[in-house]
A and B are shown apart, each in its own frame.
Chain A
Amino acid sequence: MTRRLLPLAAALALATTPACFLSRNQLNTSLDEAKIQALAPGQSTADDVLDALGAPSDVVQLGRRSAWRYDHSTGKTAAFTILIVTLVNSDVKTDRVWAFFDENDVLTHLSGTFEADEASYKMPFQD
């Protein structure tokens, strides 16, 4: 009986050998918070923002205002497969900065969200 079960046990062990992978994706270079904090609404101009942060990812006209978006994102994906079950989790977090200008290209508002470092590898059942 034991001899008959050995091949089956070996086959099961091979078939159920788990596989996993981790992948990390990034978009754009990270944003320099020191350069961002050096910009002063009411004083800095579009040229100052361009010098500090480079070309924006997006430019939007908002009536007489305009807004520039800068972003950097990190995505982390973890997957685990065993036999017929596959678990996949992806977490994408972004650093975003929006610079708002008036009709004279003077910076009026500057807003940043920095979360890219918070992207994490985990399984779907983990919080």
Chain B
Amino acid sequence: MGAPLRSAAVLALVLGAASCVQLSWERHDLHSEVAPEDDAALVEGEATLASCLERLGAPVLAWEVGAQRFALAWGWDKQREYGVSISVPLADTSSSASFNYDDVASRLHGLVLVFDEGGTLRLKRRGYLRDLAPEGARRPALVSEG
């Protein structure tokens, strides 16, 4: 083992054992994405509540839009997180200073369909569900991460 390699191994061991440096790679998936072809097949003014439910399955959310319309949302979440955490203990104190860098690729997508009172599709929007659904309609993740 060469001297540089040995030094690197010792340094990694020391830093790792002290939990000073942590590298993380996380992936979190919630629900399944609506296929673009299913989305494209639903035409405003033509598709009905029945045809939308048949093609997309059960929605995640439903809410009233004014007095005459209602909306259904299909949502999915795919998060990819790559993190580097560096923590430096401070002498003579019980606390530590830390620096944290995370590249969080948060993907909370959804498809929202708005129907009229007769059940005809009138509006279709795809994007971030947090922007498309009102606050009261959104609910927390069904299962807390372990």
Q: Which of B6, B21, B50, B58 has the most CB of A within 10 A?
A: B58
Give the chain A neighbours of B27 by CB distance below 8 A: 88-90, 124
| Interface residues on chain B, size class | 35 or more
Q: Which residue of B lies closest to A72 (CB)?
A: B142
Does A60 count as interface, using CB distance less than 8 angstroms? yes
A-B residue pair count with CB separations less than 8 angstroms:
123
Does A113 count as interface, using CB distance less than 8 angstroms? yes
* Residues 54-74 of chain B, each 1 if its beta carbon lies under 8 Å from chain A, else 0: 100111101110011110000
In whole angstroms, what is the CA distance A93 to B30 when docked?
A: 6
Tell me the chain B residues, 9-43 only, with Cβ under 8 Å from chain A: 9-10, 12-13, 15-17, 21-32
Could you give 9 example pairs across A and B, Cβ below 8 Å?
Answer: A23-B146, A58-B139, A62-B70, A67-B62, A83-B13, A87-B24, A90-B26, A90-B29, A112-B57
B-side interface residues toward A, CB under 8 Å? 1, 6, 9-10, 12-13, 15-17, 21-32, 49-50, 53-54, 57-60, 62-64, 67-70, 80, 117, 139, 141-146
